[in-house]
Structure 1
């Protein structure tokens, strides 16, 4: 009987519907009792990139780099299970951005290693609420900071929206506790977490009289700067979205009619540190606030659909904070829009535009980024090809232009 249930579960898993695909249901869902209330589910996906960039800098040995490069952008496996309606456990692991420069001869280097993205357990508090803990992705700030990597509309996420990645968390995941649920059409997620000690500035100390560094927990201690607080709240005016898992859908490819508005926050008291002229250290609070809106709906009866998103994010990492071209104290406007062409074929085409403009306090200047691309959905998000041209203009630097072709499959 057990074998028959497993075979039935595997068979049913290929007959479902997920973000525009008639062939899959987002993974292998295996029932382990008669009514399906006890089950486990496995989802696997891979994203391969071919990227052309004629503006790459010289390598560490002073040699010119090739314009065309290949990489494995993501390779992931996610498993979650419920053996009771009151309990859930989720495990998610994989690797990211494996390329010729960070591969190792026998696969033992850091970039070649699988690591846990999520490991958390959850307990239900009635029908619409739950509490959980572990290494989790129930983030605050915005929809993009809770984005699934399975169903982007654009090639990838808008990088500045993953605003704490590597600063207070491990790859956009915090270690802590969360509470999530809904009151009617209002969904919420809030969390209290540990701040990461060994972050992207693990060897950095603030310069006397200079800008802030994200070193609060390491330099001031966990009692003063050890915890972060975040939340995201959204109201859905049309169809309801699932909040069973934390990962937000980028485009439904016309399978739902969604209009949500949201607001979120992230706070890390004394998360950053400045040093005065005499070298005395002082903590500065990190505060990130955002508001956003998401619209996704079919148009007409011929398979056309629109996806649109807009975000305003105000980011305060401390006085004149700046780390590379990714993290800055300042503000950002981001928007993207895509349109599924109304063609009566299984393959769907979705051209799109994205644009963001950032104000950077440290240099009193702006950065802007434009993306033009299209998705070729061979079977919804389960099998798609994406082509995107992107140009980034950072302050007075020359624009960096990149053309990327992505092939993605998830089962």
Structure 2
């Protein structure tokens, strides 16, 4: 019983914080396994709950109108990482996403109710600043947003098209493969070689109709022809250096650091897509996605004000005239967002923000645009916050889709 009490007291005392944008949270739930703390287990847990209003929801699967107001568990996650010694680390991350009234099941056994692995990888250090590893991992290429943490977003959620391979060549933005990461002076890097998923969101076979590519090379051509992907992201840190212990990029530091990074990245999947000729014969098409971005975050003045700014240009080639819903398409995208932490000495802080996207879409010879206006209310940094956002998406000539979302988030 004394042991149980000791563990409980240790847990309570250890809830101090985590460095990603929270000024008063300390080291969080960290359990030292030796006296000097070089062996430890770190535990993170978080939940994001949404209430969302949309007066133009599509009909459900039974042809019925849906309610204007919906509630969902956007994310519920647990992440653990352990430093076994100075050279070895293991990371395990599991949880669920987007659980709502439409995909709840009576006894919690449906697909949407189930926890699944997000990350499961091991890492070996090569000195103090570089490492290699392997497993199910999130050391992605392309851009900062494709490596974004969901714990400290500036906007309500990540820019969806920036998670450019999610569900196409990977499992929820995670590939199985090997990676190397680290830094040389002011240059930080991450590169990976991975296996390509054979099961993905593209559940159809290529046809001659329309002459458009589909992202099914690994399934239709075989893994020998289309079974590997390659990715990398490189950034030059002009001011403060950022941590790369874990792969998750910070969205806003709330003025706790002065960061200005210029980055560039890529994703390559040879024969990742296929296209059919008039006789129905399939040929592979290479998937290539390139990104160029800049991130700026700095305190302003003496009253705890801060600004966060980000810009991304992404060129996506999924194959000839490729589209999948209104999320993925061959074409280009410009994205930017800007946030400002209002000055003040109170522990509760407010951060209004705006975001804007413009996408050029080859298949329809048209474009899409999206604007977001919102604000964060931080009660204890990112560890306890509310976010309210209005978003409007205009896709080609379709009617604009407008949503208002309120998110409550806590993480420990």
TM-score, with structure 2 as normaliser: 0.97
Please state if 1:61 is matched with 2:62.
yes
- Judge conservation of contact 1:6–1:32 (CA < 8 Å) in 2: no
Q: Where has structure 1 moved over 4 Å in runs of 4 or more?
A: 1-9
User: Are residues 172 and 291 of structure 1, via their aligned partners in 2, closer, same or farther at CA, if it must alter by over 3 Å?
Assistant: same
Q: For residue 260 of structure 2, what is the aligned residue in structure 1?
A: 259
Q: For residue 216 of structure 1, what is the aligned residue in structure 2?
A: 217
Q: For residue 160 of structure 1, what is the aligned residue in structure 2?
A: 161
For the residues of structure 2 that align with 1:379 and 1:16, how far apart are their CA atoms?
10
Q: For residue 141 of structure 1, what is the aligned residue in structure 2?
A: 142
C-alpha displacement at 1:27, in angstroms? Answer: 3.1
User: Are residues 26 and 151 of structure 1, via their aligned partners in 2, closer, same or farther at CA, if it must alter by over 3 Å?
Assistant: farther
- Judge conservation of contact 1:9–1:31 (CA < 8 Å) in 2: no
> What count of residue pairs does the alignment treat as equivalent?
411
Indicate the SS of the match to 1:224. Answer: helix
Q: For residue 383 of structure 2, what is the aligned residue in structure 1?
A: 382
For the residues of structure 1 that align with 2:330 and 2:306, how far apart are their CA atoms?
36
Q: For residue 300 of structure 1, what is the aligned residue in structure 2?
A: 301
For the residues of structure 1 that align with 2:3 and 2:181, how far apart are their CA atoms?
34
Please state if 1:232 is matched with 2:233.
yes
For the residues of structure 2 that align with 1:321 and 1:266, how far apart are their CA atoms?
16
Indicate the SS of the match to 2:84. Answer: strand
Cα deviation digits, residues 71-119 of structure 1 (max 9, x gap): 0000000001011110000000000000010010000000000000000
TM-score, with structure 1 as normaliser: 0.97
- Judge conservation of contact 2:181–2:190 (CA < 8 Å) in 1: yes
- Judge conservation of contact 2:73–2:97 (CA < 8 Å) in 1: yes
Cα deviation digits, residues 26-64 of structure 1 (max 9, x gap): 630110101000000000000000000001112222221
Q: For residue 273 of structure 1, what is the aligned residue in structure 2?
A: 274
- Judge conservation of contact 1:6–1:31 (CA < 8 Å) in 2: no
User: Are residues 215 and 326 of structure 1, via their aligned partners in 2, closer, same or farther at CA, if it must alter by over 3 Å?
Assistant: same
C-alpha displacement at 1:218, in angstroms? Answer: 0.8
Q: For residue 50 of structure 1, what is the aligned residue in structure 2?
A: 51
User: Are residues 84 and 164 of structure 1, via their aligned partners in 2, closer, same or farther at CA, if it must alter by over 3 Å?
Assistant: same
Describe how 1:12-23 pairs up with structure 2 within 5 A.
13-16=14-17, 18-23=19-24
For the residues of structure 2 that align with 1:111 and 1:249, how far apart are their CA atoms?
27
Indicate the SS of the match to 1:318. Answer: coil
Indicate the SS of the match to 1:35. Answer: coil
For the residues of structure 1 that align with 2:254 and 2:340, how far apart are their CA atoms?
9
Q: For residue 177 of structure 2, what is the aligned residue in structure 1?
A: 176
- Judge conservation of contact 2:260–2:295 (CA < 8 Å) in 1: yes
C-alpha displacement at 1:150, in angstroms? Answer: 0.4
For the residues of structure 2 that align with 1:74 and 1:45, how far apart are their CA atoms?
8
- Judge conservation of contact 1:177–1:191 (CA < 8 Å) in 2: yes
Describe how 1:306-321 pairs up with structure 2 within 5 A.
306-321=307-322
Indicate the SS of the match to 2:257. Answer: coil
Q: For residue 355 of structure 1, what is the aligned residue in structure 2?
A: 356
For the residues of structure 2 that align with 1:344 and 1:203, how far apart are their CA atoms?
56
Q: Which consecutive unaligned segments of at least 5 residues does structure 2 have?
A: none
Please state if 1:131 is matched with 2:132.
yes
For the residues of structure 2 that align with 1:188 and 1:26, how far apart are their CA atoms?
25
User: Are residues 11 and 36 of structure 1, via their aligned partners in 2, closer, same or farther at CA, if it must alter by over 3 Å?
Assistant: farther
C-alpha displacement at 1:203, in angstroms? Answer: 3.4
- Judge conservation of contact 2:76–2:96 (CA < 8 Å) in 1: yes
- Judge conservation of contact 2:16–2:27 (CA < 8 Å) in 1: no
For the residues of structure 2 that align with 1:9 and 1:260, how far apart are their CA atoms?
38
- Judge conservation of contact 1:2–1:32 (CA < 8 Å) in 2: no
Indicate the SS of the match to 2:334. Answer: strand
CA root-mean-square deviation: 1.7
Q: Which consecutive unaligned segments of at least 5 residues does structure 1 have?
A: none
